[in-house]
Amino acid sequence: MHSIRCTSQSVFIFAFSLLLAACAGPGDLPAPPTDEAIAAEAEHQRTEALILSHAREYRLARVARPLLIAALELCPATQRSDYGLRLHSIDSYTPLLRPAARTVYGLDQQPTLRPPLPDSPAALAGLRAGDRLLRLQGRAVTPGTRKSIDAQLREVSGPLSLQIERGNSLMSFSLIPDTLCDWPVRLHRSSAINAHADGREIRVNQAMLSYARQDDELALVVAHELAHNGLQHIDKQLRNLLLGALFDLLALTQGYPSPGLAATLGVHHQALNWELEADLQALVLLHRAGYALEPGVAFWRRLGTDFPAAINHSRGLTHPGSAERYLRMEAAAKALQMTAEF
């Protein structure tokens, strides 16, 4: 029996080998690149990817910062001091990205400044990308303290003293903080043209960042999500969901199966009106932050042109159609501008 099994396996392997040999394949290919060349190209692509990723993050942070200040009345209990200090070191990156970080930024383990955002305390004081942080509030900064520095910066609320090394010079600075809504605005790697708010932070998809080509358009997207947080739409939606779920449970105890129907209705209840309310509040935030309103309003017209399925509202969707949205926001923007002129 053992020899028969071995013979069957041998026949199968032989037949499979013949089948592979009979399969179609490409013609003669040139010699493959060397392992060294592939490794060098891979490192080049990682370096370019790091540069592009940081440029995207910087643009989003630059656009969002004035809005986080403009939204302060919407976040009375969720505010933080901000000095505009953005730090990194070689340990901020995964081992795979550390060679690229050294190439682009010349990093080692000492905390080093990334480009300060425009009009932030760090930028106004004259701090620059590449400044090496040596002392903070009189205490020496060592390579292993970057994480504790980030925590300390979130806790400090008054003047901040720091000493930096720039080239061969030592320089001291004192920064007075700005106050921002403590809703981090993060870039999310996704190919969907969308953005999200969850009551604690804002996530803007990478595809949305690319689609909103003008900063005024991107500002509208961020302001809309900030409005959702400030108007507590996420908490209200969750409350409606829970009420619906309780109704489903009550119906079930009375012998009436309700497979999530009331919970679904609860989630969608008032969702359209919340979107419209967030649109209008977003215009107010844009105006306060000094952004032009027209490009943001026109964004909805362009979105409908590029994606016709979004033009009209469809039953069951939680967002209004782009045609209605554009017209409502156009009228609201004109009214807001007229009010500002008087």
Instruction: Give a yes or no: residue 279 inside a domain.
Output: yes
Q: What is the mean pLDDT of the chain?
A: 84
Residue 194: C-alpha distances to residues 191, 204, 208, 225 (Å) = 9, 7, 6, 11
**Last residue of a domain, which of 132, 153, 181?**
181
- Domain termination residue (choose one: 181, 200, 222): 181
Do 208 and 335 have their domain in common? yes
The DSSP output letter for 315 is T
Residue 196's domain spans which residues? 185-341
- Residue 204: inside a domain: yes
90 and 190 inside one domain: no
Task: Say what the pLDDT of residue 194 is.
Answer: 92
Question: Is residue 164 within 8 Å of 191, Cβ to Cβ?
Answer: no
Could you give the CA distance from residue 284 to residue 280 in angstroms, rounded to a whole number? 7
Among candidate residues 158, 181, 204, the one where a domain is terminated:
181
The string of DSSP codes covering 260-307 is: SHHHHHHHHTTHHHHHHHHHHHHHHHHHHHT--HHHHHHHHHHHHHH-
285 lies in the same domain as 327: yes
- Please indicate, yes or no, if residue 36 is contained in any of the structural domains: no
User: Both 135 and 222 in a single domain?
Assistant: no
Q: 73 in a domain, yes or no?
A: no
| Residues in a beta bridge with 197 | 202
> For the chain, which ranges sit under pLDDT 70?
1-7, 11, 14-25, 144-147, 235-271, 313-318, 340-342
Q: What is the DSSP string of 111-147?
A: -EEPPPPTTSHHHHHT--TTPEEEEETTEEP-GGGHH
Rounded distance between C-alpha atoms, residue 143 and residue 104, angstroms: 19
d(C-alpha 127, C-alpha 173), whole Å = 8
Q: Are residues 174 and 253 in the same domain?
A: no
CATH number for the domain including 170? 2.30.42.10
Shared-domain flag, residues 198 and 316 = yes
Closest of 111, 124, 145, 146 to residue 65, by C-alpha = 124
pLDDT, residue 314, reads 57
Per the domain annotation, does 299 fall within a domain? Answer: yes
Q: Is 115:211 a contact under the CB 8 Å cutoff?
A: no
Based on the fold, state whether residues 140 and 189 are members of the same structural domain. no
Q: Is residue 16 part of a domain?
A: no
What pLDDT does residue 34 have?
Answer: 94
- 214 and 143 part of one domain: no
Statement to judge: residues 193 and 225 lie in one domain: yes
- Spatial separation of the C-alpha atoms in residues 86 and 184, rounded to whole Å: 13
**Residue whose tokens read 């060679």:** 99
Pull the structure tokens for residue 28: 């003669």
Contact 226, 71 (CB under 8 A): yes
What is the pLDDT at residue 241?
46
- Asked if residue 125 lies in contact with residue 173, where contact means CB atoms within 8 angstroms, the answer is yes
Residue 171 placed within a domain: yes
Q: Are residues 172 and 189 in the same domain?
A: no
Q: What percent of the chain has pLDDT over 70?
A: 79
Are the beta carbons of 104 and 130 closer than 8 angstroms? no
**Residue 274 and residue 312 in one domain:** yes
Give the containing element (helix H, strand E) for 169.
strand 169-175
Q: Helix 271-289 vs helix 293-306: angle between axes, to the nearest 10 degrees?
A: 140
Q: Residue 264: count other Cβ atoms within 10 Å of its Cβ.
A: 16
| The predicted structure's pLDDT at residue 152 | 76
Total number of domains in the chain = 2
Q: Is residue 174 part of a domain?
A: yes
Report the alpha-carbon distance of residue 263 to residue 3 in Å, rounded: 65
Claim to verify: residue 210 and residue 332 sit in the same structural domain: yes
